[in-house]
Amino acid sequence: MEKQDCNILIVGVGGQGNILAGKIISEAFVAEGYDVKQSEVHGMAQRGGAVSAHVRAGAKVYSPLIPETDADFILSFEQLETLRYLNYASRKTTVILNTLRSDPPSVAIGREEYPADVLEKIRKKTKKIITLDANSIAKELGTERVTNSVLVGCLAALLPLKKSVWGKMYRKFVKEKLVDINLKALEAGMELVGKS
């Protein structure tokens, strides 16, 4: 089977589990025989800074960084962060948008405004937008810590990979006692996209 190029940009705030999400998505592509490169800058991740990870898969991948306008998917853990990376979006891009709002320090102390028109700005780029409140879905499942897996589930439903690969990846890269709850979250994300 032809291995189509797939560029996934994961954006969010340090501490949201986006780096683990990037690793699992990358490993899933590897398991399915793709060439994969993944790049992230995580030096400041623990300290609440903006965090982004590039995942690129295909028959042969050179650059670990996605070129501008060339993201097939933007998996966004936080609304405002999506806007910071809109230069990677174009008409072909599907944006999976977690509706969580996390105020940066300048907004938290009332010096700046949180942008009001996030969805509108994304719509100017692409009509393919999936919005969900992944934090609430995760909370209902038992813990907000699996928010990242809900979002990975949404993406997984749209990727050209076998469904069975995801369970294998979670069992390989997530602590044993956390595998079940993460797989439930993954399933919830997949279902949500399946319905829409």
Applying CB under 8 A, what is the total number of residues that bind other proteins?
51
Binding other proteins (rule: CB under 8 A), the pick from 107, 158, 181, 193 is 107
| Least distance to other proteins, CB of residue 129, Å | 16
Stretch that binds other proteins, among 67-75, 147-155, 159-167, 181-189 (CB under 8 A): 67-75
Q: From CA 85, how far away is CA 135, in angstroms rounded?
A: 21
Number of C-beta neighbours around residue 29 at 10 A: 26
| Least distance to other proteins, CB of residue 192, Å | 24
Q: What helix, strand, coil percent values describe the chain, rounded to 5?
A: 45, 20, 35
- Whole-number Cα distances in Å, 161 to 4, 40, 57, 67, 164: 11, 23, 11, 23, 9
The binding track of 114-133 with respect to other proteins, each residue x by CB under 8 A or -, is xx---------x--------
Residue 162 binding other proteins, by CB under 8 A: no
Task: Looking at 17-67, list the stretches that DSSP marks H as alpha helix, in order from N- to C-terminal side.
Answer: 18-31
| Least distance to other proteins, CB of residue 161, Å | 15
Residue 106 binding other proteins, by CB under 8 A: yes
Polymer length of the chain: 196
| Least distance to other proteins, CB of residue 186, Å | 20
Residue 68 binding other proteins, by CB under 8 A: yes
* 148 in Cβ contact with 191 (< 8 Å): no
| Least distance to other proteins, CB of residue 14, Å | 7
Residue 42 binding other proteins, by CB under 8 A: yes
Q: From CA 99, how far away is CA 119, in angstroms rounded?
A: 10
| Least distance to other proteins, CB of residue 70, Å | 9
- Whole-number Cα distances in Å, 75 to 21, 27, 67, 110, 113: 10, 17, 16, 28, 24
Helix (H, G, I), strand (E, B) or coil at 139: helix
Residue 90 binding other proteins, by CB under 8 A: yes
Contact set with other proteins (CB under 8 A)? 13-14, 23, 26-27, 30, 35-44, 46-50, 61-65, 67-69, 80-81, 83-87, 89-90, 103-110, 112-115, 125
